[in-house]
Amino acid sequence: MMKRLCLSVAVGSIVLGFLACGHRAYAGTAAPEQAPLFVGGEGGYHTYRIPALLVTAKGIVLAFCEGRRNNGKDRGDIDLLLKRSTDHGRTWSGTQVVWGEEGETTIGNPCPVQNTSTGTVWLGFCRNNDRVFVTQSDDHGVSWATPREITANVKREGWTWYATGPVHGIQLESGRLLMPCDHEREGDGTKYSHAIHSDDHGKTWTLGGIVGYRNGECAAVQTIDGRVHMNTRCYFGKHRRGVAWSDDGGDTWTEVGAAEQLVEPVCQASVARLSGSGDGRETRILFSNPASEQRKNMTVRLSYDECRTWSSGKVLYPGPSAYSDLAVTQDGAILCLYERGMETPYETITLARFGLDWLEPRPETPVP
């Protein structure tokens, strides 16, 4: 494989700033600050797609995406890109090529997760949507190691198309690193959700349990009882998200049920914990997706009962929108990185930054 650019090289400089300045805790009911982070046609790429977010233990915000050089198709000359923010998502670095190869090679489906005990950020991704790799950063995304292929350990014989994420992974209370993934199988083209995990700080990766057929891109969060909740893109024709649960850290999963409150157009989505896992605050979990039977109406919701029910939420953007990812900064802001446009959802990748009070105004429930 030939790298297009050295992994530690950043192109450009600070490119984006929000109106709200100053390093204070984020609060208030003001409308979200929103600005495009990646704009199609700029920086040598026709289209930017497939966002993923991670806030590191030092508070650095990492925003990943695919840079599609010649068109917006899922296959072709595609690089894996990154921008970094050192001020909780207010301003951003230039674009960094994490990995790219010469010619019509597809590098994409970013799935970042940090091992908090070592500080290493692991990034799962795919080559040509059929081979699986991980790379790592020990300096919060400034530089990245040469990718290492793990296909043989996480992909079964007879599987064809494969995707890591595309959304952030999670670290479980046990220390296990878990990346949500999906795949297709030879012959029928049916999609399945699954997970891969590492129990040795990222040294080796293993295939976890398979979630029922006709499920695709998925996102995971650990609930306060130790279970893992998986939320899936569903192909059952009902325009509702699929949900499954694991009692053993992702080794096995329940049958998939329908989340009747979570309407979807058959599209990727994100789920992330906001509060309530050992921090003394009320339990809250975030969810984002285009809440419609079409790819529009990007909406963020809250669950106060560990993913069993969801609020009506707030609309970030009523127009064309698609993939998204969620993160929470160390100053308390909620970030949603999502695909957005005027005529199609794929014109920009936009970052929204907002507070809990805007999302769901309600009194804080005292902890017993």
In this structure, is residue 367 part of a structural domain? no
pLDDT number for residue 295: 98
Residue 363 placed within a domain: no
Q: Which of 122, 126, 124, 123 is CA-nearest to residue 107?
A: 126
Q: How far is the CA of 208 from the CAs of 117, 122, 151, 180, in angstroms?
A: 22, 17, 13, 10
pLDDT tens per residue, range 200-236: 999 999 999 999 889 999 999 999 999 999 999 999 9
The whole-angstrom separation of Cα 10 and Cα 67 is: 14
Beta bridge partners of 326: 336
First to last CA, the chain: 56
* Domain harbouring 243, CATH code: 2.120.10.10
What is the residue range of 81's domain? 10-17+28-357
Residue type at position 184: E
Is residue 1 assigned to a domain? no
In a domain, 67, yes or no: yes
Q: Within a domain: residue 23?
A: no
Instruction: Let me know: does 217 contact 268? Beta carbons within 8 Å.
Output: yes
Cα 328 to Cα 302: distance, rounded to the nearest angstrom: 13
Q: Is residue 322 part of a domain?
A: yes
Under 8 Å between Cβ of 284 and 274? yes
- By C-alpha distance, which of 206, 222, 358, 328 is closest to 277? 222
Q: How far apart are the C-alpha atoms of 91 and 19, rounded to whole Å?
A: 10
Mean pLDDT, 10 residues at a time, over the chain (368 residues)?
43 42 50 97 98 97 98 97 97 98 96 96 98 98 98 97 97 98 91 97 97 94 97 95 98 96 98 86 95 98 96 97 98 97 98 94 50
The count of structural domains within the chain is 1
- Residue 16: left if φ>0, alpha if ψ -120 to 50, beta else—which one? beta
Q: Please say whether the beta carbons of 108 and 96 come within 8 A.
A: no
DSSP string, 72-135: S-SSSSEEEEEEEESSTTSB---EEEEE-BSSS-BEEEEEEEE-TTT-PEEEEEEETTTEEEEE
- For residues 250 and 14, what is the distance between their CA atoms, to the nearest angstrom? 39
Cα–Cα distance between 246 and 242 in angstroms, integer? 14
